[in-house]
Amino acid sequence: MKFFDNKGYLILGLWLLAISPVHAQYSLLKSADREFNAFNFITAIELYQRAYDVKADINTAERLAESYYHIRNYREAEVWYARLANHDEAKVDHILQYGHVLRNNSKFREAKAQYQRVALKAEGIIPPEELAVLYASCDSAVVWLENPIKAVEIKNQKKWNSAQAEFGATKGPNGLYFASDRFDGASNPDVIYGWTGNPYLAMYVAGDDAVTKVDAKWGDGANHFGPATFSQQKNEVYFAVTRNLTREEKRKAGKDVTVNIEIFSNSLDAANWGEQAVPFRYNNITEWSVGDPFLSLSGDTLYFTSDMPGGQGGTDIYYVVRNADSGWGDAVNLGEGINTSGDERFPGIDERGDFYFSSDGHLGMGGLDVYRLDKTRVTPRVANLGFPFNSPYDDFSVRFDKELEGYVASNRSGGAGADDIYWFNLNKIIQIDLEGGVYNAKTKLPVAGAQVTLTPVGDEANAVVVNAGTDGKFKFNLAENSDYTLTAEQTGFRPFVPMTFSTSGIDSSTTLTKDIHLSPVEVKEVVVLRNIYFDYDKADIRPDAALELDKIAAFLQSDPNVRIELSAHADSRGSHDYNMKLTQRRADSSVAYLVSKGIAADRLVAKGYGFTKLANHCAKGVECTEEEHQWNRRVEFFVIEN
């Protein structure tokens, strides 16, 4: 949930006349840049895509990648960051962001390989401790996915969620209150927020029968409204807002000022919380944001997040204590034990007094994860709540309504749209597990590293992917009364027909067993490896290429009698002799890597073909795009004998 970076701008329409391709691209890029700089990413994406279709360009690809990342469309972001990270002009930031989106898409081993590339390229630029956290996060995420926490139940609250965002669900005087940017029938284009293409945030309350919008019009023209926190004892509500600058604020701030988030409060008895609301002591609309308010049970302590100067970096969590005169005292930063150089958001406390918050700076699965302050240790430290409470996406705004039960928001796969509200129970009783192994159907030996996918029937977006261990074993946590399909894939094997099964009727903790047998490819059947990349004019095995070669090693280890030829190919640019030598070096490097993994050298043949076996029409002298040329820069293998 990225909120502090948001700026309020209106979406602008654009119609272009039929003009020359060069001028058309220039006009498109100029308009796209204007929308991008105004944080109108939805419109910017459309314009950049049209410009890229006119002429493929790395700068346009970079803007598309950034735009998709900002709106948290991680699948599309992965496509564009992959192009950037594997381009000859790849920057360290491209590779780093590629690693981030791979984590968001549950590709943790692939993400770690990109972080290792970053370490090689950015020595002395990115602190080793930050890289260490990224490595450990990838490793931990794999363990969490394969060993989900048993005492957790989490369910999407479909009755409250929409195709837009809902988050910050908390108990209030008349039901459950939450913030949302859903469309509620308003057609006025002035209410559209350019960052998301949706309305501005508003507050809603879920009662027994319906969800209704909280009427809180701001006389000074507030944009976002919510989320909120309540104190029944103090009869108060505190909430986050954005608002238009006053004339005096505009005069002092000058041009191009950023409108930041503020916190206001009001009495629960007020007919309209937006009227005569009291500004929080630490509001500073032109300098920094304050948001994510949370009141303690007594109402005497207010926790909030801010990017004010003096913090650890990003947004930090602070608290203030109420004075005898009911005003708030000095803001106290919770310190480096909780705050990091990343973003810490959404503080909260359960009924037992345990402290929770979200962060993207601690050891996590990707995006924002939820953490609890573990006070049982001599030196308290934060503990990640693990999977399935957390996901590779953003998980945040934990609020309890009874001991061990409450609500959290997440934009994980399988939801109704963007951020959704989920109910959770941290003390689930029934635990249903699935265990199995992936094996070579011919030799019955395990297939290490196979990608195993568990998919709820009718809910493909909520599929979970793990990699089989060196022994071919895998494990999943299953939901009650659910139907599933199970499949697996690995380089060197034919596609597997999905296996179906159900947990219907299971009413006690149990473990199901399902094994998968993959059929190996036949002799002379070519397997193209599109994910083995080399840096320009080099034959060194990059960490991401090593990951792909590990899959070939797993295939060979599953059948000790197989011999393969591993061949490298180039595009048609450059001389014949040069490309023959370069591809031979690359094929030799690939074979040497496999030998280092324990594969006997006499089972491997290395062959460089230069550009003698092009995969498309891009022969010498034919004008082709970079992507079309890249299609020819491939590594492949085929079985010589088995």
Mean pLDDT of 222-248: 88
Residue 430 in contact with residue 508, Cβ under 8 Å? yes
d(Cα 478, Cα 456) in Å, to the nearest integer? 9
Estimate to the nearest angstrom the gap between the alpha carbon of 16 and the chain centroid. 34
Give SS3 for 545.
helix
Cα 543 to the chain's mean position, in Å? 21
Please, what is the end-to-end C-alpha distance for the chain in angstroms? 52
Coil/strand/helix, residue 370: strand
Instruction: pLDDT band for 352, please (50, 70, 90 cuts).
Output: confident
Average pLDDT over residues 21-46: 84
124 close to 380: Cβ distance less than 8 angstroms: no
Spatial strand order of the sheet with 420-425 comes to 153-156, 420-425, 405-410, 395-402
Rounded Cα–Cα distance for residues 438 and 449 (Å) = 9
Residues whose CB is less than 8 angstroms from the CB of residue 59 and which lie 6 or more positions away in sequence, other chains included: none
Structure tokens at 256: 């191009």
In this structure, the number of other CB atoms found within 10 A of the CB of residue 416 comes to 16
Q: How does DSSP assign 175-232, residue by residue?
A: EEEEEE----S---GGGEETTTTEEPPEEEEE-SS-EEE-----TT----EEEEEEET
pLDDT for the residue numbered 540: 86
The C-alpha atoms of residue 112 and residue 98 are separated, in whole angstroms, by 10
The number of residues in the chain equals 642
The burial class, CB within 10 Å (0-12 / 13-18 / 19+), for 522 is exposed
Q: What is the dihedral sign for C-alpha 607, 609, 613, 617?
A: positive
Q: Name which CATH class applies to 526-641.
A: alpha beta
Q: Is 380 helix (H, G, I), strand (E, B) or coil?
A: coil
Amino acid 128: pLDDT: 84
Residues forming a β-bridge with 396: 409
Q: Is the pLDDT of residue 9 over 70?
A: no
Residue 379 confidence class, pLDDT cut points 50, 70, 90? low
Strand 604-608 versus strand 563-568 pairing type: parallel
Average pLDDT over every residue of 227-245: 92
Q: What is the pLDDT of residue 221?
A: 45
Q: How far apart are CA 593 and CA 545, in angstroms?
A: 10
pLDDT digits (tens, 9 = 90+) for 108-144: 999 999 999 998 887 767 888 888 889 999 998 988 8
Answer CATH for 21-146 from 3.40.50.1820, 1.25.40.10, 3.40.50.300, 3.90.180.10? 1.25.40.10
Is 517's pLDDT higher than 60? yes
pLDDT digits (tens, 9 = 90+) for 260-307: 899 999 999 988 888 889 999 999 988 899 999 999 989 999 999 999
What are the residues whose beta carbons fall under 8 Å from the beta carbon of 597, sequence distance 6 or more?
549, 550, 553
3-state helix, strand, coil in the chain (%, to 5): 25, 30, 45
Indicate the range of 24-38, 559-573, 581-595 predicted with least confidence.
Answer: 24-38
* Average pLDDT score, the chain: 87
Q: What is the pLDDT of residue 23?
A: 63
Query: Span 359-388, mean pLDDT?
Result: 84
State percent of the chain over pLDDT 90: 52
- The pLDDT of residue 1 is above 60: no
Q: What is the 8-class DSSP label of residue 245?
A: P
Which CATH number is associated with domain 432-518? 2.60.40.1120
Structure-token pair, residue 119:
């370490």
Q: Is 530 helix (H, G, I), strand (E, B) or coil?
A: coil
What is the domain partition of the chain in residue ranges? Answer: 21-146, 432-518, 526-641
Mean pLDDT of 161-168: 93
Residue 21 has pLDDT above 70, yes or no: no
Asked if the bond preceding 227 is cis, omega within 30° of 0, the reply is yes
**Residue 17: exposure state from Cβ atoms within 10 A (0-12, 13-18, ≥19):** exposed
Q: Beta strand pairing status for 604-608 and 635-641?
A: unpaired
Taking the CA of residue 527 as centre, how many other CA atoms within 13 Å lie in the half-sphere pointing to its CB? 25
- Secondary structure (3-state) at 281: coil
Q: Are 293 and 306 in contact (CB under 8 A)?
A: no
CB atoms within 10 A of CB 433: 16
Indicate if the pLDDT at residue 193 is higher than 50: yes
Q: What percent of the chain has pLDDT over 70?
A: 93
- Tokens 């034959």 found at: 539
DSSP string, 23-60: HHHHHHHHHHHHHHHTT-HHHHHHHHHHHHHHS--HHH
Report the largest interatomic distance among the alpha carbons of the chain, rounded to a whole angstrom.
Answer: 86
d(CA 125, CA 134): 15
Please check the confidence at residue 199 and state whether its pLDDT lies above 80.
yes
pLDDT value at 10 more than 50: no
In eight-state DSSP terms, residue 623 is: -
pLDDT of residue 375 exceeding 80: no
What confidence tens digit (pLDDT) does each residue in 170-179 have?
A: 999 889 999 9
Q: What confidence score (pLDDT) does residue 190 get? A: 59
pLDDT at 16 over 80: no
Whether residue 478 has pLDDT greater than 50: yes
Q: Residue 608 and residue 586: Cα distance in Å, rounded?
A: 7
pLDDT band at 95 (very low <50, low <70, confident <90, very high): very high
Read off the pLDDT band of 222 (50, 70, 90): low
Q: Which residues are 198's β-sheet partners?
A: 193
How wide is the angle at C-alpha 137 spanned by C-alphas 133 and 138, nearest 5°?
A: 125
Q: Encode pLDDT of 579-638 as tens digits.
A: 999 999 999 999 999 999 999 999 999 999 999 999 899 999 898 887 788 788 888 899
In 3D space, the residue among 233, 237, 243 whose CA is nearest the CA of residue 205 turns out to be: 237
Say how far apart CA 588 and CA 567 lie, in whole Å: 9
| pLDDT for residue 340 | 92
pLDDT exceeds 60 at position 219: no
The whole-angstrom separation of Cα 403 and Cα 420 is: 22
Q: Which residue has the higher pLDDT, 439 or 432?
A: 439
**Please, are residues 433 and 478 in contact by the beta-carbon 8 Å criterion?**
yes
Q: What is the mean pLDDT of residues 542-555?
A: 91
**Interatomic CA distance for residues 380 and 626, integer angstroms:** 52
Q: pLDDT tens digits, residue range 42-57?
A: 999 999 999 998 888 8
What are the φ/ψ torsions at residue 628 (nearest 5 degrees)?
Answer: -65, -40
Q: Which residues of 201-218 are buried (b: 16+ CB within 10 A; e: fewer)?
A: bbbbbbeeeebeebebeb
Rounded alpha-carbon distances, angstroms, from residue 203 to 168, 182, 226, 241:
10, 10, 6, 10
